[in-house]
């Protein structure tokens, strides 16, 4: 019979019989959890599944059918003797050879003899013997003929073993089986059967913890199936693996410039790095240092790819080249999509690319509630970018070549994060530079090494030396620092500091119009700045009637509003509809699928706002889109009204274009006053421009002494404030304001509000 010996490590369970000390077998109890234990059990489970028995819970007792068949074949005779047991086994389990049968015979005889010594009568011995015979036939027949083989049969038992199960396991251990008892609830139940713990040994788990609540052999089986599918998914694995950052000294650019052959000697690995530089080490030398860094990389014959600000999303043409289909699972999808990776020049690098892609995507697939289609979109991005950059990174690649991917600006979204992680699993140094500390890089990874510096610098483009390089002097940087101190959260603003704005319509009293009119918008209520955007409080109002019927004072108060920033429209229209509008012919080209095509507008030959600074063009087109979207003009999305809006807005008078060019979102805003003393209805075009200018950030006020509903016809709902200030007066003529006196005494309300 076989003896069980002590292990020096769980891996010895997988040694061949001839590779073991004295050809021993192992019988151990595992009562604690560790990752090492889980990994062992995964492998042991697979071995037991293929060459042994897995028992979860209990070994079923022989049923009536089992016992009837045994009685029919063997009868009910019993003798406590090796000869009887051996002869019975030869008939009952004929596939065992003589050595196997002899080992089982004496192992069973020892158990039954111990029962006799304990005072158990012959009937109890007989029942135990028959139970053993049935179990050996119905549960263990597939392994009894392998006992003593080079590949030792293995039994994995999960649960709390009963007395007779334990006795049978002792039989199988002595006959040549390896056995593992997985006891998640500990040893207490077992020690009632084997108080001295000598029939089997407890494995001392280094750093052992209680088993997780959901840990089970069934879960191991599921994980094993999953791993087999993953192995099938990967196919042939590369011969080398990344050693990322383990070799670096934390010296930044110096580490990246280190010769690849000097990074490490183990040929199983390529040595790369994943670095992020946040801030700048010296404002005076930073740009020049980056330029020299690039030049040294190229001088060392390194392949280099530079990306500025963002990795441009794949074009429709790039996406169309990715072959894909409809998938039911992530693994099915990845099995198909990996075929889009082609690098025929070097099979090892091809295998590395496939593994890096699958590693990243399988990790992403573990995220909760990840839909297959969303996962596929991410995979398509990675494949498109890999195709785009692989020639620049891996041209003529051979071990141990390491390319360098330089990203100025940092990862802004999930796709960029995944791509940088994938590159870091390839023979590539990934160097991310975020010199402007107001920007963020979202990449987080256990391998990432970050160097942080105190100073910050705005750098628009990596200074590769292929274009014109701008380097600031000490005085220049000192001025920028002073600029930041003066204009950040101080209430003071430099010229054109902000590029985006949203207008907020103020609800005011009539008297407040005169008070707020000539103020810089930064002093108005609810003015605010957030990041790169300004909230501009604007006046958009209709003033109906004449206060106390005093016409001369009425005109004087209007004259007081005619500042150099104000355009006056009186006794006529702002938009002269008699003049041809060249944009009407093209308006339908600029709006498709409910969206304003800003890029197409900018590229059109008839577009006249290209003379404006870029940020103002963006602002104007954003507000045009907003005017349509909010449906301020009655009939929008009916009978082509949106095209009328587009044509009208894109045909602005040159005077207003010039005013908008100098419009600073934190200072005084342009203004528009309409005076309508007649019964004329405001034209559609003027209604469009008035609403549009309000969204752009202008103050727009209508003076209507008649109180007639002459300006609201084309507006949807109440888009402006109305002030009823006095009597309605008719048939007035708008005077020459140059002849109107402006020294009107302020009212008591005006005196209060001006304090």
- What's the 3-state SS for 449-467? EEEECCECCCCCCCCCCCC
> What pLDDT is recorded for position 498?
77
Lowest mean pLDDT among 472-481, 492-501, 595-604: 472-481
Distance, in Å, from the CA atom of 603 to the CA atom of 601, rounded to the nearest integer, reads 5
**pLDDT exceeds 90 at position 483:** no
E strands of 239-361, at which residues?
241-244, 269-272, 274-278, 304-308
305-314, 353-362, 476-485, 491-500: least confidently modelled range: 476-485
- Separation of alpha carbons 471 and 286, rounded Å: 9
Strand 591-592 to 595-596 pairing: antiparallel
Instruction: Return the pLDDT at 492.
Output: 57
* Across 296-309, average pLDDT: 93
**Is the pLDDT assigned to residue 692 strictly greater than 90?**
yes
CA torsion through residues 495, 498, 502, 504, sign: negative
Greatest CA span in the chain, whole angstroms?
138
Question: How much is the pLDDT for 594?
Answer: 87
Band of pLDDT at residue 699, cut at 50, 70 and 90: very high
Residue-level pLDDT at 65: 93
pLDDT at 494 over 80: no
pLDDT at 407 over 50: yes
pLDDT category of residue 258 using cuts at 50, 70 and 90:
very high
Return left, alpha or beta for 57; rule: phi > 0 is left, psi -120 to 50 is alpha, else beta. Answer: left
400 preceded by cis ω (within 30°)?
A: yes
User: The pTM is what?
Assistant: 0.49
Helix axes 82-92, 64-74, angle to 10 degrees: 110
DSSP state of 738: G
What's the sign of the alpha-carbon dihedral 260, 261, 262, 268?
A: positive
Packed helices 330-337 and 217-234: angle between N→C axes, nearest 10 degrees:
20
pLDDT band at 203, cuts 50/70/90?
very high
Q: Tokens 């950059």 map to which residue?
A: 389
Lowest mean pLDDT among 112-116, 334-338, 397-401, 486-490: 486-490
pLDDT in tens, 611-656: 898 889 999 999 999 999 989 999 999 889 999 999 999 999 889 9
- Spatial distance between the Cα atoms of 405 and 431, rounded to a whole number of angstroms: 6
The radius of gyration computed from the CA coordinates of the chain, to the nearest angstrom, equals 42
Condensed to tens digits (0 to 9), the pLDDT of residues 533-549 reads: 888 899 999 999 999 99
Give yes or no for residue 499 having a pLDDT over 90. no
Q: Closest Cα to residue 109, out of 87, 80, 130?
A: 80
Output b/e per residue, 47-83; b: 16+ Cβ within 10 A.
bbbebbbbbeeebeebeeebeeebeeeeeeebeeeee
Contacts of 90 (CB under 8 A, 6+ apart): 96, 101
**Burial call 262-289: b when 16+ CB within 10 Å, e when fewer:** ebeeeeebbbbbbbbbbbbeebbebbeb
Rounded to 5°, the CA angle 353-359-362 comes to 130
pLDDT digits (tens, 9 = 90+) for 103-131: 999 999 999 999 999 999 999 999 999 99
- pLDDT at residue 469, as a whole number: 47
> Scanning the structure block, which residue is given the tokens 């005017």?
627
Q: How far lies 15's CA from each of 7, 47, 151, 176, 178, in Å?
A: 11, 12, 8, 14, 11
Phi-psi region of 683 (alpha: psi -120 to 50; beta: other; left: phi over 0): beta
Could you tell me if 705 and 554 are in contact, meaning their C-beta atoms sit under 8 angstroms apart? yes
The percentage of residues in the chain with a pLDDT greater than 90, rounded to a whole number, is 66
Average pLDDT of the residues of the chain:
89
Percentage of the chain modeled with pLDDT above 70:
93
Question: For the sheet containing 500-505, what is the strand order?
Answer: 500-505, 533-538, 528-530
Q: Residue 224 has what pLDDT?
A: 74
272 has a pLDDT exceeding 50 = yes
Burial of 449 (0-12, 13-18, 19+ CB in 10 A): middle
Contact 412, 310 (CB under 8 A): yes
Distances (CA, A) of 346 to 75, 238, 349, 398: 70, 11, 5, 8
Q: What is the mean pLDDT of residues 81-103?
A: 93
* pLDDT the model gives residue 231: 73
Cβ pair 17, 189 in contact under 8 A: no
Task: Extract the tokens encoding 315.
Answer: 């074009």
Evaluate whether 582 touches 606 at the Cβ level (below 8 Å): yes
- DSSP structure string for 632-679: -BTTTTSTTHHHHHHHHHTT--HHHHHHHHT--TTSPPPEEEEE--SS
pLDDT at 13 (0 to 100): 92
Q: What is the pLDDT of residues 166-198, one digit of tens each?
A: 999 999 999 999 999 999 999 999 999 999 888
721 forms bridges with which residues in the sheet?
541
Q: Please name which of 217, 56, 55, 220 lies closest in space to residue 139, comparing C-alpha atoms.
A: 55
For residue 156, is it left (φ>0), alpha (ψ between -120 and 50) or beta? Answer: beta
225 versus 108: the higher-pLDDT residue is: 108
> Lowest-confidence range among 200-209, 389-398, 498-507, 694-703?
498-507
pLDDT 10s digits, 21-72? 878 899 999 999 999 999 999 899 989 989 999 999 889 999 999 999 999 9
Secondary structure (DSSP) of 346-404: -HHHHHHHHHHHHHHHHHHHTSTT--HHHHHHHHHHHHHHHHHHHHHHHTT--TT--EE
DSSP-derived secondary structure letter, 238: P
Task: State the pLDDT confidence band at 755, using cuts at 50, 70 and 90.
Answer: very low
Q: Is the pLDDT of residue 468 over 50?
A: no
Q: Residue 134: what pLDDT?
A: 94
Residues pairing with 724 in the sheet: 544
When pLDDT is cut at 50, 70 and 90, the band that residue 283 belongs to is confident
What's the confidence (pLDDT) of residue 443?
A: 94
CA 719 distance to own-chain centroid = 41
């Amino acid at each position: 019979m076989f003896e069980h010996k002590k292990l020096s490590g769980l891996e010895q369970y997988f040694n061949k019989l001839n590779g073991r000390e004295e050809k021993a077998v192992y019988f151990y109890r595992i009562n604690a959890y560790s990752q090492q234990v889980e990994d062992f059990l995964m492998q042991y489970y697979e071995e037991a599944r293929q060459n042994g028995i897995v028992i979860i819970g209990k070994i079923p007792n022989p049923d009536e059918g089992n016992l009837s068949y045994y009685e029919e074949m063997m009868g009910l005779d019993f003798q406590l003797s090796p000869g009887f047991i051996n002869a019975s086994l030869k008939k009952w389990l004929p596939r065992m050879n003589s050595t196997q049968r002899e080992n089982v015979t004496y192992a069973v005889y020892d158990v039954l003899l111990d029962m006799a010594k304990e005072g158990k009568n012959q009937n109890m011995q007989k029942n135990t013997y028959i139970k053993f015979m049935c179990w050996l036939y119905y549960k263990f027949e597939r392994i009894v003929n392998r006992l003593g083989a080079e590949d030792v049969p293995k039994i994995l038992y999960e649960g709390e073993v009963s007395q007779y199960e334990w006795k049978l396991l002792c039989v199988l251990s002595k006959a040549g089986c390896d056995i593992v008892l997985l006891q998640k609830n500990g040893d207490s139940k077992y020690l009632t059967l084997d108080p001295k713990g000598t029939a089997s040994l407890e494995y001392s788990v280094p750093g052992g913890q209680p088993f997780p609540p959901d840990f089970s052999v069934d879960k191991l089986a599921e994980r094993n199936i999953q791993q087999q599918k993953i192995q099938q998914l990967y196919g042939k694995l590369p011969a080398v693996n990344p050693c990322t950052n383990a070799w670096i000294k934390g010296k930044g650019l110096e580490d990246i410039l280190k010769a690849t052959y000097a990074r490490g000697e183990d040929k199983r690995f390529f040595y790369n790095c994943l670095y992020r530089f946040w801030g700048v080490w010296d404002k005076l030398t930073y740009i020049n240092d980056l330029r020299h860094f690039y030049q040294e990389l190229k001088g060392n014959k390194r392949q280099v790819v530079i990306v500025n600000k963002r990795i441009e999303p794949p074009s429709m043409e790039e996406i169309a080249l990715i072959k894909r289909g409809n998938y039911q699972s992530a693994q099915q999808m990845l099995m198909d999509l990996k075929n889009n990776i082609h690098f025929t020049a070097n099979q090892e690098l091809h295998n590395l690319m496939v593994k890096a892609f699958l590693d990243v995507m399988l990790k992403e697939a573990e995220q909760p509630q990840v839909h297959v289609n969303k996962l596929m979109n991410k995979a398509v991005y990675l494949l498109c970018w890999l195709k785009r950059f692989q020639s620049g990174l891996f041209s003529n690649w051979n071990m141990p070549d390491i390319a360098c991917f330089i990203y100025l600006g940092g990862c802004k979204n999930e796709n960029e994060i995944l791509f940088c992680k994938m590159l870091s699993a390839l023979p590539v140094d990934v160097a991310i530079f975020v010199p402007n500390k107001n920007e963020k890089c979202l990449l987080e990874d256990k391998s990432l090494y970050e160097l942080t510096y105190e100073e910050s610098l705005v750098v628009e483009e990596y200074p590769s030396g292929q274009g014109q390089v701008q380097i600031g002097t000490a005085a220049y940087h000192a001025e920028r620092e002073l600029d930041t101190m003066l204009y950040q959260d101080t209430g003071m603003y430099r010229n054109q500091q902000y590029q985006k704005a949203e207008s907020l319509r103020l609800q005011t009293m009539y008297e407040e119009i005169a008070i707020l009119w000539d103020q810089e918008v930064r002093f108005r209520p609810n003015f605010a700045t957030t990041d790169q955007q300004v909230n501009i409080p604007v006046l958009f109002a209709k003033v109906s009637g004449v206060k106390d019927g005093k016409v001369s004072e009425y005109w004087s108060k209007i004259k007081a509003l005619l500042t150099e920033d104000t355009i006056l429209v009186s006794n006529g229209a702002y938009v002269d509809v008699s003049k041809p509008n060249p944009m009407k012919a093209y308006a339908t080209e600029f709006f498709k699928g409910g969206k304003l095509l800003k890029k197409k507008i900018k590229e059109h030959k008839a577009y006249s706002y290209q003379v404006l600074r870029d940020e103002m063009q963006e602002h104007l087109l954003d507000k045009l889109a907003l005017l349509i979207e909010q449906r301020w003009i009655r009939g929008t999305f009916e009978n082509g009204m949106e095209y009328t809006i587009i044509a009208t807005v894109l045909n602005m008078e040159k005077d207003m274009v010039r005013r908008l060019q100098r419009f600073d979102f934190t200072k005084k805003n342009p203004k528009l006053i309409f005076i309508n003393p007649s019964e004329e209805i405001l034209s559609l075009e003027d209604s469009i421009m008035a609403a549009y200018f309000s969204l752009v950030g202008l103050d727009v006020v209508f003076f209507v002494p008649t109180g007639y509903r002459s300006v609201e016809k084309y507006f949807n709902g109440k888009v402006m404030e109305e002030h009823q200030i006095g009597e309605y007066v008719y048939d007035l003529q708008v005077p020459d304001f140059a002849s109107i006196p402006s020294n009107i005494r302020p009212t008591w309300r005006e005196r209060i509000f001006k304090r």
